[in-house]
Every structure is written in C-alpha cells, then in structure tokens.
Amino acid sequence: HRHLLGIEGLSADEITRLLDLSQSYAERPKDDHRARSLLSGRTVMNLFFENSTRTLTSFELAAKRLGADVINMAVSTSSIKKGETLLDTAMTLNAMGPDVLIVRHPESGAVSLLSQKVDGAVVNAGDGRHEHPTQALLDALTIRRRRGRIQGLIVAICGDVLHSRVARSNIHLLTKLGAKVRVIAPTTLLPSQIDKMGVEVFTDMRKGLKDADVVMMLRLQLERMQGAYVPSIREYFHFYGLDYDKLEIAKPDAIIMHPGPMNRGVEIDSELADDINRSVIREQVEMGVAVRMACLDALTRDLTGANT
C-alpha cells in the first residue's frame, strides 16, 4: 500500500498532480454525486493523539463527501488511557480492516512507524516537528489560486520554525516547485539543520520581508518549549509579530497566511488576520477539504506514487 507520510519524498510532478486533483475538487459543488460514491464501501479511520480542529474535521468531511464510512477514534476515551501502546492500538484497528488510517502524533516518526505495521494506507496528519503534508498541499493550493503559480515567488515563513512541522513540509514543497523560500526567526527558534534546506535565513524581519509575495506566519508553540527559551510576548510581537507597519515592506499585494490556530497579538496583529484584502487564512481552511479529498482519492486509487 501507498502512504502519504511527508512531502520530502514526493517529486515536483507528484505534488503538481495532487494540486491539480485538489483544484478539481475545489471547483466541484459540495453535493457532487460522482464524488460521493468514489469511496463507497471503504473505511477511513481518524486516529489523533494530539488535538486538532481543522485537520480532523476536514479529513472527516472529505471522507464523507467521497462516500466512505468514517470512524473518529477519540484517543482520550480509548484504551490508550489504560496503557495500550501506539502499535497495539494500531494493530487492533488494523484488524477491523480500515482502507485509510489518518494519524496525528506528538512524536516525529511515530506515524511512519505505524505505517509499517498496518495493511491500509496511512496519512500523516502531523507528527511532532517533522511533517504535516496535507497542510503544505493546502497552502500551496491557496498560493496557486491567488497567484497563479508557485515558481519564482518569494515566500517568507516567519516565526517558530524550530517546532513547526508546517514550516518543514512547506519548505520541502515550495523549494521543489521553484519558489524562493525565506525563513525569518530568532536564532533560538531556528532548527540546526536549516542551512541545509535550500532556504535563505533572516533574523531581522524587516530585511526578510522585503518584496515577499507571500508572508506565512507560524504559531509560537509555547507547549513545546519546556525549559527552553520562552520569549516575552510583548518583545516577540515587537520583533517578529506581523502588523500593518511591517507588512509595508513586502510587495503591495502580498498575501498573508497562517495555518492556524493563531495566537492573536502574539505572532499576528488581530485586525490584520481578519483583513479580507490581505489575509487568505479562511481560504486555507476551505482548501483543506479539497486537498484531503484529493489525497484520499489518490491513495485509494494508488495514484500518488508516494511511499515516503
């Protein structure tokens, strides 16, 4: 079986095919009957070991729109609370024969490990700081719809890059499709391997934002900063928060993105986040459903060629 574990192992062609299929789903009416029967008789299980609003809901909606039977296993009321391990849980669910398992886990690599033990296709819905492939695909689809292309665009990814699987998946995807990717962060929030990722690194936001076409803000992941450097919120917003003043440095028509959930007033000014002339955050969420329909479609038809 094929899985979707990350963007890193996909080729530019495979990514483009998934984006084209996602776009075709974005254009279809919600009640399209052909789409409804595509996964009829198939079972999709959501297994989330970490909280989610957008990813879980949109995978459920996507699977239902394709006619699948969908199970959301609530980890907090499952036998994991009695000490059953990740792999025993996976094997238990596997015995019920799901066609697709969608998994989120706080440990990098846990989803890949699980994929080696089950018979169905596995989709990584976010593993630790490693990858969140469907988020990068929905971000790319949003950029493509707003800008018509990805090749040659300057994309500035700003904030807590160190803890961000969204940043990592986006860096892989955007560099493969020929964007010029910049990361902007304090040195304490940059991963040590960042200079091997094909991006330009800035610690001064006013320099990094110059002429950017896309400004992608990241959530400050305070829950992952046990004992490490935790900046004061006021200081962080002053240097790395996006507001109208700093946005002036980017291109006049630059779009603002955020994967959500946002910390308003920490990494992004609250008014700017809601500014429909600049912010495409709502469209990102909307594209999430189309992208997840495309991924479920491709995986169950074995079209991705992805086994990463």
**Interacting residues toward ligand CP by CB under 6 A:** 52-55, 126, 135, 259-261
One-letter amino acid identity for 47? Answer: L
CA distance 180 to 88: 43
- Rounded to a whole number of angstroms, the minimum distance from the CB of residue 8 to ligand CP is 18
d(CA 14, CA 9): 10
Does 206 carry a binding-site annotation? Answer: no
Residue 55 counted as an annotated binding residue? yes
Annotated binding-site residue? 132: yes
**145 annotated to bind ligand:** no
Shortest reach from residue 301's CB to ligand CP, in Å: 25
CA distances from 278 to 155, 167, 179 (A): 15, 20, 20
231 is in an annotated binding site: no
Q: How far is the CB of 19 from ligand CP (least distance, A)?
A: 18
Q: Which CB, 57 or 94, lies closer to ligand CP?
A: 57
Tokens (6 digits) for 135:
């988020």
Q: Which residues are CB-contacts of 17 (< 8 A; sequence separation ≥ 6)?
A: 298, 303, 304
Nearer to ligand CP, 135 or 300 (CB): 135
Question: Annotation-wise, does 241 bind a ligand?
Answer: no
- Determine if residue 199 is left, alpha or beta; phi over 0 gives left, psi from -120 to 50 gives alpha, anything else beta: beta
Nearer to ligand CP, 120 or 133 (CB): 133
CB of 206 to ligand CP, least distance (A): 27
Closest CB to ligand CP among 129 and 180? 129
119: which DSSP letter?
S
DSSP one-letter code for 201: E
Q: Where are the beta strands (DSSP E) in the chain?
A: 43-48, 69-74, 100-105, 121-127, 154-158, 180-184, 200-202, 214-217, 255-257
- Rounded to a whole number of angstroms, the minimum distance from the CB of residue 106 to ligand CP is 12
Residue nearest ligand CP, Cβ-based: 55
Question: Nearer to ligand CP by C-beta: 53 or 116?
Answer: 53
Residues annotated in the binding site for carbamoyl phosphate, as ranges?
A: 54-55, 104, 132, 135, 260-261
Residue ranges of the annotated binding site for L-aspartate are 82, 165, 219
